[in-house]
Each structure stands twice: as C-alpha cells, then as structure tokens.
Copies of this chain bind each other. A is one copy, B any other.
C-alpha cells in the first residue's frame, strides 16, 4: 500500500472519491489531501481531471469486466451463471469501486458523451453474447429471445446489488433466481 506507485495511489483515491461525490463533487485538492501529496503531483501523472476519470473507465473498468467475463465457462448453464454472479462477491474493494463507477457511467449518471458512447457499444454486445452461450447449452426454444432478455435483465440487478449497493449475495440465492428464469431451458 505505501510502496505502491504514487500514480496508482492517486487513481485509487480518485476512484473512491468519484464514486462518493461524482465527477464535479470530486476536487483535485481532496484527492491530493487523501493521497498525502501536493496538489500539482496529480498533474504530474495525469494531464487533467477528465483524463484521470477517463482512464479509470476506459482502462480499469473494461479490464474488470473482461476479466470477469472470461470466467464464463461450465457445462451446466445454471452453474455457469451462478458462478459468474457469485464471483463478483470476491472482487477486491478497488475492483468493485471501479465496476461501480463504470455502471454509474453506463447509466449516464456520470461521465460525458464520449464515455456514454463507449458504454452503448459495449451494451450492444451483451445480448448476442448471452444468446450464444444459451444456444450452446440448451435445446431449441420457441421463446429463446424472451428468455435471454429476462436472464440479462436479472443478471443486471444481481450485479447492481453486489457492486453498486455493495451487498453480499449468497450462492444459493443467486442459483434460485437464475433457475427460475432458466427453468424452461434445462432438463430437471
């Protein structure tokens, strides 16, 4: 913690403050105070406030998301999604806050238009990706489209509960809810 690069410590504190007070509620001075460095050091490592914010979303947020999505593997689809969500509990505090800030931008509660467009693009990839996963794990369904939509909607609130509201969700509760949505896809 104390030996970490000052640049990383600045970003870590920034993530905390952007989360708590938003972009405009966060000041370079407050960041510097919490990092215990002088104010211009922020400008030594980052060109300006916006660039600091942008790097958190563009680099760190999408890294967390990609890392988490890479664990989407299992032959049992209910297991697969249960673990996908349950693993979020184990993210580090920093990763959770980065994820949370990303969701804030995703809902356009913070950030600017450029970041919003990035999020829009990312969002478009969600439904097709889960449709493929579902297709490869289940028999053909007539209401496949609706099930994928419902599943993704459910996943979204589960993620929000863990990451945004910072709550722990037990594995069996996650499994129950996913099973209810996928009960038509899966042989008992």
Contacts and interface: CB of A to CB of B under 8 A. Distances in A.
A135 B115 CA distance: 44
Contacts of A165: 107-108
A164 interface: yes
Contacts of A183: 183-184
Contact of A181 (B22, B23, B180): B180
A181 B143 CA distance: 13
Contacts of A107: 109, 160, 164-165
A173 B173 CA distance: 26
Given A22-B110, A149-B176, 17 more contacts: A21-B24, A24-B24, A25-B25, A107-B109, A107-B160, A107-B164, A109-B110, A146-B180, A147-B180, A149-B173, A149-B177, A150-B177, A150-B180, A153-B154, A153-B157, A153-B158, A183-B183
21 contacts: A22-B22, A22-B109, A24-B24, A107-B109, A107-B164, A109-B109, A109-B110, A143-B176, A146-B176, A149-B173, A150-B154, A150-B180, A150-B181, A153-B157, A153-B158, A153-B177, A154-B157, A156-B157, A180-B181, A181-B181, A183-B184
